[in-house]
Amino acid sequence: MKDRQRWSSKMIFIFAAVGSAVGLGNVWRFPYLAGKYGGGAFLIPYVLMLAIIGVPLLIMEFAIGQKMQVGAVNSFGKIRGKLSGIGLGAVLCGFVVVSYYAVVMAWSLLYTFYSFSLKWGVDTKDFFFNKVLHLSSGPADIGFISPQIILALVIAWVLVYFSVWKGVKSVGKVVLITMPLPIILLVVLLIRGITLPGAMDGIIFYLKPNFKALLDLEVWSAAMSQIFFTLSLAFGIMIAYASYQHEKSDIAKSAIITSLMNSGISILAGFAVFSTLGYMATKSATPISELAASGPSLAFIVFPKALSLIPFAPVFAVLFFIMLVTLAIDSAFSLVEAAATVIHDKYPDLRKEDISLYVCVIGFSCGIIFASFAGLYYLDITDHFITNYGLVIAGLLEAIAIGWFYGAEKLRKYINSVSDVKIGKWWSILIKFVIPVLLIALLINSFIQDIRTPYEGYPQWAIFCFGWLVLIVVALLSYLFAHFSKEH
């Protein structure tokens, strides 16, 4: 067997892990969730979920990859042949995510370009929906494919491809820029934001705790899926990345550093976003609650408008969108690397450059549908279902596989034999009992909600095709793969 590729240093490994974790989720998902679910009080479920589920699972994923020295599929396959289906499920979920994540990266590239002239004008909503997306009247009206988005999507994929083409060798170099750069830009935007008039109102909106929100199960569910998404858990990414570490490298400290940096950046992003919204609210006499939108609306409608009100607007607009592009790229290529690692484990004679190319071409092709005039609707539905179910189920199965088949205590002994920070028995209890029980409870809760009210009022057929069906296909492929896997 050929020697496995290695990260050039421990620091580069952490750069890559943080690069994957810190993405659009930190800047547009976290602040929005905090604003919506109880302000400062949201930090309670968030931190609890981070401590009880996030950090232990991240330690687990780092440990499996590093111990087994292979990607997600074979890591579980080495425990028991049929468990390899769990790894495949995780990687497939990641694949679905990257197909639409790249589309968001494509919008960000277009907007970087538009920023120089603030091309969106006054009506940023009209610009985004009608001029950029050509958004149709509903999911049933697919319209055409938007040529400018496809062009930007090709550029996004070319950038992703050249970041991962030589596996960790090229990733290790690219993350030296793509990890720190968006953080530096975020700090610049943060300083600009908090020095604007009205910033304080925004920050108060962001942090003022509403403890009543904690009584709502939905808040806990939101905190949990955010933790999965933000730490890039249950996609096979962290397993793949850790498999390029030497077997004796530290685990626990790396996982703790990655989690703390990631959440720290989310909280900072909240200050940057809400201070700017506070300013905009003051200037346009609109309540902040009306401005605090999630995802695409925040980044492509509200922010362009807020940025155009600031002196030297084009400068800050360009910085903002370059930040989005660089935030997204290392998350996107980490998903490609997770898939490429799995394929390379299976076919070691194929060249890494070729494998990465296939993954990118397939990822691009699957994403074309999200560049259609109804793409935003599909993207929204798929994202909801993959993050609320796909990831959570993959994480649940991973914890069960380690807790009950491999042996949590056995993995803990390995972790402690290589780590500076020792982890106690509590970790095994969390993996074996607490995490599975919590995940099952929250899954049931999300399921009941989705059955009761169709997500965002979309038509049932659309929810079925872009939500449930995607999950069913992922599950079926993983099941078949497991079924035909040989026991070692």
The footprint of ligand PHE (CB under 6 A) covers 20-21, 23-26, 94, 97, 229-230, 232, 235, 237, 331, 334-335
Nearer to ligand PHE, 66 or 331 (CB): 331
Nearer to ligand PHE, 34 or 79 (CB): 34
**Distance in Å, CB of 29 to ligand PHE, minimum:** 7
Q: Pull the structure tokens for residue 346.
A: 């299976």
Residue 3 has what DSSP assignment? Answer: P
Coil, strand or helix: which one is 60?
Answer: helix
CA distance 218 to 224: 10
Nearer to ligand PHE, 108 or 146 (CB): 108
Nearer to ligand PHE, 326 or 485 (CB): 326
Q: Check: CB of residue 118 under 8 Å from CB of residue 313.
A: yes
**Distance in Å, CB of 124 to ligand PHE, minimum:** 23
Residues 6+ apart with CB under 8 A from 113: none
Nearest residue to 317 via CA among 206, 199, 192? 192
Residues 6+ apart with CB under 8 A from 180: 15
CA distance 105 to 268: 21
**Distance in Å, CB of 158 to ligand PHE, minimum:** 19
Instruction: Count the neighbouring beta carbons within 10 Å of the beta carbon of residue 108.
Output: 25
Q: Pull the structure tokens for residue 158.
A: 């070319």
CA distance 403 to 431: 6
Nearer to ligand PHE, 23 or 172 (CB): 23
**Distance in Å, CB of 22 to ligand PHE, minimum:** 7
Residues listed for the chain: 488
**Distance in Å, CB of 237 to ligand PHE, minimum:** 6
Instruction: Count the neighbouring beta carbons within 10 Å of the beta carbon of residue 437.
Output: 11
Nearer to ligand PHE, 25 or 38 (CB): 25
Nearer to ligand PHE, 271 or 406 (CB): 271
Nearer to ligand PHE, 100 or 127 (CB): 100
Nearer to ligand PHE, 55 or 237 (CB): 237
The distance from CA 298 to its chain's CA centroid, rounded to whole angstroms, is 17
Nearer to ligand PHE, 114 or 235 (CB): 235
Residue 350 has what DSSP assignment? Answer: S
CA distance 106 to 108: 5
**Distance in Å, CB of 286 to ligand PHE, minimum:** 28
Coil, strand or helix: which one is 474?
Answer: helix
Q: Check: CB of residue 428 under 8 Å from CB of residue 436.
A: no
Tracing tokens 């607490």 back to the chain, one arrives at 434
Nearer to ligand PHE, 324 or 442 (CB): 324
**Distance in Å, CB of 259 to ligand PHE, minimum:** 12
Nearer to ligand PHE, 279 or 320 (CB): 320
**Distance in Å, CB of 90 to ligand PHE, minimum:** 10
CA distance 92 to 235: 8
Coil, strand or helix: which one is 372?
Answer: strand
Nearer to ligand PHE, 97 or 392 (CB): 97
- Reported as half-sphere exposure (CB side, CA atoms, 13 A), residue 344 has a value of 29
Residues 6+ apart with CB under 8 A from 66: 242, 243, 245, 246, 247, 249, 251, 418
**Distance in Å, CB of 306 to ligand PHE, minimum:** 21
**Distance in Å, CB of 174 to ligand PHE, minimum:** 15
In terms of C-beta density within 10 A (0-12 exposed, 13-18 middle, 19 or more buried), how is residue 327 classed? Answer: buried
Q: Check: CB of residue 76 under 8 Å from CB of residue 86.
A: yes
**Distance in Å, CB of 26 to ligand PHE, minimum:** 5
Q: Pull the structure tokens for residue 359.
A: 């993954």
The distance from CA 125 to its chain's CA centroid, rounded to whole angstroms, is 25
**Distance in Å, CB of 362 to ligand PHE, minimum:** 17
CA distance 22 to 334: 11
**Distance in Å, CB of 326 to ligand PHE, minimum:** 12
CA distance 314 to 307: 8
